Amino acid sequence: MKKLNFQDLLIFENEDFFLVNKPPFVSTLSERHDDKAENMLRLAKSYCSDAQAGHRLDKETSGVLIFAKHPEAYRHIAMQFEHRQVTKIYHAVVAGVHDFQGILVNLPILPLKIGVVKIDRAEGKEAETLFNSLEIYKAHTLVECIPFTGRMHQIRIHLQCLKAPIVMDALYGGPAIYLSEFKRKFKLAKDTEEQPLISRVALHARALNFALMNGERLTVEAPYPKDMEAMIRQLEKNR
């Protein structure tokens, strides 16, 4: 992977915060098993030495990520996350045709030691996500996901519960996505093997709405990265 230029990732900045469009395959914080790998916090600290991450995204997930520039700003954003005053909007491409209009999933989540989660009504922690279909394609759907809580893999397992797993999400039953599945007259070059349209869980943190230090609310949007944009373009072209 080529070296990231942090300033190319910036999508908003003021004296208290900066927000970036996190690329896929980069961790938010350092990984326990590989603390030398590039991560967003290390990059952020090279840009602003006091930077602290306001929240985190899974390694494969792209999209909007907020950093505080100083301790007071960090407290300000951390309290908003704690009191559920931040609105997070994600976009996911899921398997199957689904017409979700204000579908609320309220199922408790229990993390397991093997790095996955399960629904557990007895021991799980409260988890709530709202889903809306944005675009319906031939065999897939682009879904807006608004989590009201911040549990691990929350969107992924709640979509699995709706029988709409995210494509390429093998952990939660999401199948690979191939152009041959929906493109008419698809032809593969001789002696080649078809590759999936995207090589990661197709989940993108699209927007974040939060209050600045002066109380004014702001929404910051992150454009799709190239892999997600290319996949969606193929889905639109071959409806």
Establish whether 58 is a catalytic residue.
Answer: yes
The whole-angstrom separation of Cα 165 and Cα 10 is 30
User: 9 with 23: CB under 8 angstroms?
Assistant: yes
* 135 beta partners: 142
As to burial, measured by CB atoms within 10 angstroms (0-12 exposed, 13-18 middle, 19+ buried), residue 3 is exposed
User: 140 with 93: CB under 8 angstroms?
Assistant: yes
Q: How would you write 75-117 as a 3-class SS string?
A: HHHHHHHHCCCCEEEEEEEEECCCCCCCEEEECCEEECCCCCE
Given CA atoms 175, 91, 4, 8 in this order, what sign does their dihedral have? positive
User: 77 with 56: CB under 8 angstroms?
Assistant: no
Name the catalytic one among 58, 120, 169, 191: 58
Active site residues: 58
